[in-house]
Amino acid sequence: MSEPYAPTLEAALACIAAVRPAAYARTRNALDGAVSGLSPYISHGFVSLAEVLAGVAAHHRLDMQHKFVYELGWRAYFRHVWQQHGDGILRSLHEGPLPDSAYAAELPADIRQAQTGVPVIDEAVRRLYRSGMLHNHARMWLASYIVHLRHVHWRAGADWLYGHLLDGDLASNHLSWQWVAGTGSRKPYLFNAENVARYAPAAWHSPGSVIDASYEALDQLARQPGPGVAASPAGPATDEPLLHDSPPAALAATAPSTADVAGRDVWLVHPWSLGLLPPALPADTLVLGLFVDEFHWAWPWSERRWHFVGRRMAELADRLWQGDAAAIGAALASARSVRSIAEPHLDAWLPRWAACEPAPALFPPVNRHCDSFSQWWTHASRGLHSAADLLAVNEVPAW
């Protein structure tokens, strides 16, 4: 069997080739539904949204309203909100069912250790730790339970989940948590045992647990100030994998050094630009892989994610650097030229060091503030009827 989420372009292209849009639209809400598994590759720039859509549209006719196009839209929309709000996405965009101060700041140990006694939650946490991935519906269930039943602040849950995901993206993750919490959407997202029984395998079913209740009762719990439902820890504890704020030694990343780059043309590869190198790079360009300490101190990753990113980066780059922003900036100042691809995760630093090309876009730019996905979608899809129309906006070549 091939390695799940192998950090190669071939694996990303195989996921694109395997997309079956009709089955996707029919089954995507089920845990065993025909979802693409593309998000780690999209999050780390192995492939862009435009390349994904072009690859799928080469074999399947998709109209603009197709579920698959729509879901790609959610990712683009969250990036749009990030662009509008900057670091503001890390705070509640508006008040949810309760004020921020009504929620606990820490994620309880029984959740971290998959010991809540609610099968759907414990299964989700175990799967997350085992694979670094979680189906969208499972992420929604987990987030909803944490915020609305346990009254833990969405930010505590979002930071924890981000660290363990292979596809962790500050916009898609933190804004999805806000959408579930009701601080980025009009109402809280709630789910019950019946919903789980419909979309998840038997081991996840949770009859008789706290979520085996009507939506009215769950809504009341979500809006009732206080500590939330009591934990009823059950089963053996699962160890939470450690998170790391620097690359594994096996990657042999070195400290930034003037000697590496003095007088050279440099192309910077970062963890969100792991696609093909630009075809027009002059032959003597130094391809430098970069890990910026300040980012990873704030947002540590699982070992699995470090290996996923690191193996691909080592394949692309002549050498890898890890260092703080001051050391990187000082060393790069001696290069003849430095170029890279713009990336909001590195917005605080990258533009100071490199001339940044924009990341490839799929949707037309929406330059106004949109409060909801549907508002954004109305603007982003105006006058477009099919995936082919959408791809033509940015002249994405056909596959």
Give the binding site for ligand FAD (CB under 6 A): 28, 35-39, 42-43, 71-72, 74-75, 78, 135-136, 139-140, 143, 165, 167-169, 172-173, 176-177, 180
User: What minimum distance in Å lies between the beta carbon of 46 and ligand FAD?
Assistant: 11
How far CA 173 is from CA of 79, 97, 143, 372, 383, in Å, comes to 11, 20, 10, 16, 30
User: What minimum distance in Å lies between the beta carbon of 317 and ligand FAD?
Assistant: 24
Between 328 and 341, name the residue whose CB sits nearer to ligand FAD: 341
Between 51 and 260, name the residue whose CB sits nearer to ligand FAD: 51
Between 42 and 253, name the residue whose CB sits nearer to ligand FAD: 42
Name the residue with tokens 């929406």: 366
CB 252, CB 214: distance < 8 Å: no
CB 68, CB 62: distance < 8 Å: yes
Between 179 and 321, name the residue whose CB sits nearer to ligand FAD: 179
Between 96 and 256, name the residue whose CB sits nearer to ligand FAD: 96
User: What minimum distance in Å lies between the beta carbon of 321 and ligand FAD?
Assistant: 26
Helix/strand/coil percentages in the chain, nearest 5: 45, 10, 45
User: What minimum distance in Å lies between the beta carbon of 382 and ligand FAD?
Assistant: 21
Between 159 and 167, name the residue whose CB sits nearer to ligand FAD: 167
Between 36 and 273, name the residue whose CB sits nearer to ligand FAD: 36
Name the residue with tokens 């683009």: 76
C-alpha–C-alpha distance, residues 88 and 174, integer Å = 11
Between 144 and 206, name the residue whose CB sits nearer to ligand FAD: 144
User: What minimum distance in Å lies between the beta carbon of 248 and ligand FAD?
Assistant: 22
Count of H helices and E strands in the chain?
19, 7
How far CA 304 is from CA of 159, 166, 309, in Å, comes to 17, 7, 9
User: What minimum distance in Å lies between the beta carbon of 12 and ligand FAD?
Assistant: 10
CB 153, CB 134: distance < 8 Å: no
Structure tokens at 258: 């003037």
User: What minimum distance in Å lies between the beta carbon of 37 and ligand FAD?
Assistant: 5
How far CA 328 is from CA of 202, 338, 396, in Å, comes to 51, 12, 34
> Any idea what DSSP says for residue 357?
E
C-alpha–C-alpha distance, residues 168 and 310, integer Å = 15
CB 13, CB 243: distance < 8 Å: no
CA angle 16–18–19, rounded 5-degree value: 70
User: What minimum distance in Å lies between the beta carbon of 330 and ligand FAD?
Assistant: 33
Between 39 and 340, name the residue whose CB sits nearer to ligand FAD: 39
User: What minimum distance in Å lies between the beta carbon of 98 and ligand FAD?
Assistant: 19
